[in-house]
Amino acid sequence: MNAFKHLLKTAGSHPPVGTWILSADPLVAEAIGHAGFEWGVLDMEHAPADMMDVVHLLQAVTSTRMVPVVRVPWNDPVTVKRVLDAGATSVMFPFIESADQAQRAVAATRYPPRGVRGVVGMSRASRFGTNLQYLTHADEGLCTIVQIETPDAAERAEAITTVDGVDAVFVGPADLSAAMGHIAHPAHPQVLDLMSRIVQRCKRAGVPVGTVGGTPDAVAQYRAIGFDFVAVGSDLGLMMRGAMNALSALKTQDVDIVHSVTVGTLTGATSHGS
């Protein structure tokens, strides 16, 4: 079974926690994987990752427990073909607006006659030709995740989830809030209400649905809404937050030390003078 689908199936009441890899750096991805995240998105849409970067990222997380999901930059069969040949088994498609677009996404991941994926015998996915059964069984090991990121797509969620081959839905809060006129405010009540309705539609269809929050508190809200899998922040976000918190703490400490020294000096001078 596909590793991501297995993760969702065995999660129970605990939604698997992932994060985003925006750095396109294999060493960072490997470190994040060892931190204990259950899954991670190797991003090609908003990160400077090209095809060789994806190969290196996939290699880097192999030794960790983090299940990789590659987000392609667009619903483009050429890019999807190359990502799959590189060894990706779980693919996320951004900005899916209709059942037709979802069908095209699924087709890009399947070999003919079920789809349009190009065939090659020698690839990293087939272990460089040593897996003789790869071409006949590749479709069985794939996971296709489609993103719902606008109110229009939300209204078509039921049609999207009924497409054969759509294994999970991912709601993008940032784009959804922007499309609703609440850019940079994904926690706006109207956005949360629509996200809740998307969750309900996906659950009626029996399709797992996930999302991402910038902070643990945001993710806790999404868990309460009923999301089946969640991500928190990104490698760069976690790094920057840690760096800024450390710097802020040290700057505050410096002020406290200077204040303490100054007060002590003045107190000592006053006592000596008296």
Distance CA 244, CA 227 (A): 30
* Annotation says 46 is catalytic: yes
Cβ atoms within 10 Å of 218's Cβ, excluding its own: 18
DSSP string, 82-122: HHHHTT--EEEES---SHHHHHHHHHHHS-TTT--PPP-SS
Q: Which of 46, 137, 185, 272 is catalytic?
A: 46
Q: Which residues contact 123 (CB under 8 A, 6 or more apart)?
A: 85, 86, 87, 129
Give the CA distances from residue 141 to residues 78, 87, 144, 232, 243, in Å, rounded to whole numbers and listed in that order. Answer: 20, 11, 10, 26, 39
DSSP string, 173-232: HHHHHHHTT-TT-TT-HHHHHHHHHHHHHHHHHT--EEEEESSHHHHHHHHHHT-SEEEE
Known catalytic residues are: 46
